[in-house]
Amino acid sequence: MTAVNPYNKNLDDRRATFIEYPQAVPLAFAIDPKVCIGCGLCENICLAKAVRYADRIKESALRVGAVILSSGSEGYDPSGLDYFGYGRSPNVVTSEEFERILSASGPYRGHVMRPLDREEPRRIAWIQCVGSRDTNRCGNGYCSSVCCMYAIKEAMIAKEHIHGDLDCTIFNMDIRTFGKDYEKYYLRARDKEGVQFVKARIHTVDPIAETGDLAVRYVDESGAIREEIFSMVVLSVGLQIPRASVALAGQLGIELNKYNFVATDPFLPVTTSRPGIYTCGVFQGPKDIPSSITEASAAACAAGRDLAAARGTETRSIEIPDEIDVSGETPRIGVFVCNCGINIGGIVKVQEVQDYAATLPNVVYTDQNLFTCSQDTQDKIKDKIKAHRLNRVVVAACTPKTHEPMFQETLQACGINKYLFEMANIRNQNSWIHSNDPPAATRKAKDLVRAAVARAGTLHPLEEKKISVIPRALVVGGGVAGMNAALGLANQGFEAVLVEKEEKLGGLANRLTHTIEGADVGAYVDDLIRKVNDHPKIQVQTQSLIVGFTGFKGNFSTEVLVGPGMYERKIAHGAVVLATGAREYQPKEYGYGEDPRVVTQLELGARLAEKGAGDLNEVVMIQCVGSRNEENPNCSRICCQSAIKNALHIKAENPDANVYVLYRDIRTYGLLEDYYTEARAKGVLFFRYSPERPPEVVAGEAGVAVTFEDPILGRRLQVSADLLALSAGMVAEDTEELGSIMKLARNAEGYFMEAHVKLRPVEMATEGVFVCGTAHSPKLLSETIAQAYAAASRATTFLSQSEMTLSAVVAQVDADKCASCLVCVRSCPYGVPRINAEGVSEIDPALCHGCGICAGECPAKAIELNWYEDDQLLCKVEALLEGVL
């Protein structure tokens, strides 16, 4: 039976029995009850008897100490917006549908085609803000935060997939590439890959019946109506909260805001209105993957605080018998060949493979199983290991990626070292892909088993070292990020040493007055400082300077010079949280520093708090000062909202004042868009300027004369301002020395680099070191707080283990062969090898990541990577090619 495949957005079909998508966890089949006719075929054919038609949804009750809501979002359905042509032409697709079209596992296998006629498109238009920033038709007044980046990404990938000419045009109101290094990606798309960006409002998209093309009518920036023809249109649909999540929130008694996102306080970004219930991801507010992952860890930290007392109370440990010493014994290899039901057995002659295995050197026992991974087979394997005194085991079955750890446990349960194991993948790499040629598949299965047996014979036991973990963290930087990270750790029961180079805690937040939501930053910071100083598990060291750093994950030692007396202190700790922060850029532009009427947004904020806005009648603000330029190509993320916050403040106190904001793109992402809408409603005037023709500023006696161009009127305007506020960007604190002492990577702009931009946003590449706040990239206070919790949470996963088991797959140096040539020192991506006191290379197993790059590079072949030694790889090469010559 076939069914429409919702995973590929209904663009293709799947079976009624299906795996949802290739990366699904668990990777198991399900039956679609809507299409199943109950014929019983699958139940009869399933050898494992895994099909149960009678399975129903079961209700179970769990007793928990905390709840985290992370039910996410759904893409906006544009069916209601008829003028976009969605539903009228199959060649108008949503961005989610286009995402599947681009995907290798999508309906067209990654070949970019338009749905109507499966033709390769020549021109594709993206229409931004469909279901976002739209209070008129859909009521979603917020910005979805992610669509600008994904549209650029889709355009870039489409260009890559279509090798010929492909024109990509992104119609937008503002391009909002505000994340870390996102602006660089935008510039690459625009300047190098030729993606067009057009500022426009779309009037209609009309299908052209004869060609399947689409006529896009839009109003350009000058107000003129234009029309262009495209082969395909992609609607960049926004994120919205599904009805089911709204119902769930209702059931739980959680407050939502007017757009159905969970209502949170700017200083408690993951805390819901109900104690003990936390939230993260898009349910909290529109955000991208790195922010969602960060927030997920933050929610775990908040929940971990509630659960701290119960930590470790419900864990179970596995008893592992002492290892039998098999070194020096001749290999006695057991080979277990799997039928995997009919997955292997239906194609490969398993009996033949088993008989063949028995003829191979050192093989003393062979067997075959219907399912080698089943629990009863594990018991059987254990019996056979003991009965035949097996000291090496080969399983010929599926992929080690999913099953190796399980079989290794079986070995360990018999006292056999887990590295005396090898798998031959005769399913994924054989029977599945060679089903059209069973005899060849059987031959290949034998080849693979022969190679596995050859390698098994060369394996020797490896020892996994255990290291103790010092349950204390060093937090570098005492701003809002550092203080929250320290509290996050301390409230979960771990010690934190907070070192701050200044005399006073608080960092950049000391200069802030209110958040855009109106929350009092001063009161918050004072409260935070009090909590940190009063916490018995936190030691605060101000006026401190880090001068030395050694050790590895779980066991670091940091040398600090403390106080005006610069007395030396050594701190032993298991983890590091970097929270060194950023500061406001000191502009060189627009007469700043020469005329007191030219100020930064932070200075304006302080002035408004102090003196109000009664005397301000004409205020001009210039955006992107010290951001998005050659010196600092990135967007500073926070300045648009700073300007709007101050503009609203002025308008509230002095409604007759004229406030002009000169901008390039307004980037009030997420729920901040509401404040932009409010500012426009209150009469704040916004004018776009191009970086090629920036505003001109001349400070005179009567006022600061600012001349700029209005793209709508097409004329130059001049305002004589009482005050000119420059939206100065953010600059990372100077951490060059710290970075070199701690050997930590920073990007070109001096922000610390995370281990993975998307998947590991608070971890550094050096294990045990975490980063948060503006040391990572410019961000708002609420985002800083979330990331600080996240860093604390990730550090906790380290510190909560009393000891850590290190993988034995690390590089080892044979000191006798080492010529101290430094090739390993230079080639290691993690800077691990060093020349020791004996003058030879030494690789610390606690720091080694096990990639084997040094082993590959070493000209003296003095380095071997455990478990992948040259002999162990070469014997496989030779075994696979046996009989070829």
Partner 1 sequence: MRLNYPTNVKIIRVPCTGKVDTIHILRAFEKGADGVCVIGCMEGDCHYNSGNFRARKRVEQASHLLEQIGIGGERVKMFNLSSGEGPRFAQYAVEMTERVTALGPNPIKLARKRAAA
- Interaction of residue 865 with partner 1, rule CB under 8 A: yes
In whole angstroms, give the CA distance from residue 790 to residue 441: 49
**Residues from 354 through 413 that contact partner 1 (CB under 8 A):** 400
- Interaction of residue 163 with partner 1, rule CB under 8 A: no
Our measurement of the distance from residue 121's CA atom to the centroid of its chain's CA atoms, rounded to an integer in Å, reads 31
Question: Which C-beta is closer to partner 1: that of 168 or that of 863?
Answer: 863
Q: Is the dihedral of CA 113, 117, 121, 125 positive or negative?
A: negative
CB distance 812 to 834 below 8 Å? no
Number of residues lying near partner 1 (CB under 8 A): 48
Is residue 628 classed exposed, middle or buried when 0-12, 13-18 and 19+ CB atoms within 10 A define those classes? buried
Question: Which C-beta is closer to partner 1: that of 90 or that of 850?
Answer: 850
Question: Which C-beta is closer to partner 1: that of 105 or that of 802?
Answer: 105
- Interaction of residue 443 with partner 1, rule CB under 8 A: yes
CB distance 810 to 846 below 8 Å? no
Smallest separation, CB 66 to partner 1 (Å): 33
Element (H, E) at 68: strand 67-69
Smallest separation, CB 818 to partner 1 (Å): 17
Smallest separation, CB 4 to partner 1 (Å): 20
Smallest separation, CB 52 to partner 1 (Å): 25
* Amino acid in position 645: K
The correct pick among 433, 712, 819, 822 for binding partner 1 (CB under 8 A) is 433
The correct pick among 275, 436, 596, 630 for binding partner 1 (CB under 8 A) is 436
The correct pick among 255, 383, 437, 871 for binding partner 1 (CB under 8 A) is 437
The correct pick among 827, 834, 842, 860 for binding partner 1 (CB under 8 A) is 827
The correct pick among 109, 226, 258, 389 for binding partner 1 (CB under 8 A) is 109
SS3 785: helix
Q: How many CB atoms lie within 10 A of CB 218?
A: 20
The correct pick among 447, 495, 763, 783 for binding partner 1 (CB under 8 A) is 447
In whole angstroms, give the CA distance from residue 497 to residue 562: 12
- Interaction of residue 105 with partner 1, rule CB under 8 A: yes
In whole angstroms, give the CA distance from residue 431 to residue 443: 11
The correct pick among 829, 838, 839, 842 for binding partner 1 (CB under 8 A) is 829
Tokens representing 672 are 């901040």
Smallest separation, CB 855 to partner 1 (Å): 6
- Interaction of residue 849 with partner 1, rule CB under 8 A: yes
Distances (CA, A) of 444 to 348, 372, 437, 438, 450: 9, 20, 11, 10, 10
Stretch that binds partner 1, among 2-10, 260-268, 428-436, 833-841 (CB under 8 A): 428-436
Alpha helix locations (H) across 690-842?
736-742, 781-799, 823-827
Question: Which C-beta is closer to partner 1: that of 349 or that of 628?
Answer: 349
Distances (CA, A) of 708 to 50, 276, 587, 628, 687: 72, 52, 19, 19, 8
The correct pick among 123, 287, 444, 649 for binding partner 1 (CB under 8 A) is 444
Among the listed residues 59, 117, 62, the one whose alpha carbon sits nearest the alpha carbon of residue 91? 117
* Amino acid in position 443: R
Smallest separation, CB 106 to partner 1 (Å): 10
Q: What is the DSSP string of 624-678?
A: EETSSSSS--S--SSHHHHHHHHHHHHHHH-TT-EEEEEESS----GGGHHHHHH
- Interaction of residue 885 with partner 1, rule CB under 8 A: yes
Q: What is the largest CA-CA distance in the chain?
A: 100
Question: Which C-beta is closer to partner 1: that of 458 or that of 827?
Answer: 827
The correct pick among 260, 429, 677, 836 for binding partner 1 (CB under 8 A) is 429
- Taking residues 449 to 488 in sequence order and writing x for each that binds partner 1 by CB under 8 A, - otherwise, the string is --x-------------------------------------
In whole angstroms, give the CA distance from residue 314 to residue 310: 8
Distances (CA, A) of 417 to 325, 381, 800: 9, 15, 27
Stretch that binds partner 1, among 119-127, 330-338, 436-444, 691-699 (CB under 8 A): 436-444
- Interaction of residue 440 with partner 1, rule CB under 8 A: yes
DSSP-derived pairing of the beta strands 704-710 and 696-699? antiparallel
Question: Which C-beta is closer to partner 1: that of 110 or that of 493?
Answer: 110
Stretch that binds partner 1, among 269-277, 486-494, 552-560, 875-883 (CB under 8 A): 875-883
In whole angstroms, give the CA distance from residue 157 to residue 315: 46
Smallest separation, CB 104 to partner 1 (Å): 5
Smallest separation, CB 348 to partner 1 (Å): 11
Smallest separation, CB 795 to partner 1 (Å): 23
The correct pick among 2, 435, 707, 718 for binding partner 1 (CB under 8 A) is 435
Element (H, E) at 239: strand 239-240
- Taking residues 215 to 234 in sequence order and writing x for each that binds partner 1 by CB under 8 A, - otherwise, the string is --------------------
- Interaction of residue 852 with partner 1, rule CB under 8 A: yes
Name 329's Cβ contacts closer than 8 Å, sequence gap at least 6: 391
In whole angstroms, give the CA distance from residue 208 to residue 230: 10
In whole angstroms, give the CA distance from residue 883 to residue 616: 90
CB distance 496 to 490 below 8 Å? yes
Stretch that binds partner 1, among 263-271, 485-493, 667-675, 845-853 (CB under 8 A): 845-853
**Residues from 802 through 821 that contact partner 1 (CB under 8 A):** 809
**Residues from 751 through 770 that contact partner 1 (CB under 8 A):** 765
- Interaction of residue 783 with partner 1, rule CB under 8 A: no
CB distance 423 to 396 below 8 Å? yes
Q: What letters, b where the CB count within 10 A reaches 16 and e where it falls short, cover 103-125?
A: beebbbeeebbbbbeeeebbbbb
- Interaction of residue 857 with partner 1, rule CB under 8 A: yes
- Interaction of residue 851 with partner 1, rule CB under 8 A: yes
The correct pick among 16, 413, 853, 860 for binding partner 1 (CB under 8 A) is 853
**Residues from 10 through 39 that contact partner 1 (CB under 8 A):** 22-23
Smallest separation, CB 399 to partner 1 (Å): 10
Smallest separation, CB 739 to partner 1 (Å): 17
Smallest separation, CB 21 to partner 1 (Å): 10
Smallest separation, CB 20 to partner 1 (Å): 14
Tokens representing 53 are 């038609």
Stretch that binds partner 1, among 91-99, 557-565, 789-797, 870-878 (CB under 8 A): 870-878
| 26 prior amide bond cis, ω within 30 | yes
The correct pick among 441, 560, 624, 771 for binding partner 1 (CB under 8 A) is 441
CB distance 383 to 326 below 8 Å? no
Smallest separation, CB 44 to partner 1 (Å): 22
Element (H, E) at 354: helix 350-358
Question: Which C-beta is closer to partner 1: that of 515 or that of 812?
Answer: 812
DSSP-derived pairing of the beta strands 567-573 and 466-468? unpaired
Name 48's Cβ contacts closer than 8 Å, sequence gap at least 6: 341, 370, 371, 374
Stretch that binds partner 1, among 242-250, 457-465, 582-590, 874-882 (CB under 8 A): 874-882
Question: Which C-beta is closer to partner 1: that of 174 or that of 422?
Answer: 422
Residues that bind partner 1 (CB under 8 A): 22-23, 104-105, 109-110, 400, 425, 429-430, 432-437, 440-441, 443-444, 447-448, 451, 765, 809, 827, 829-830, 849-853, 855-857, 865, 868, 870, 873-874, 876-878, 880-881, 884-885
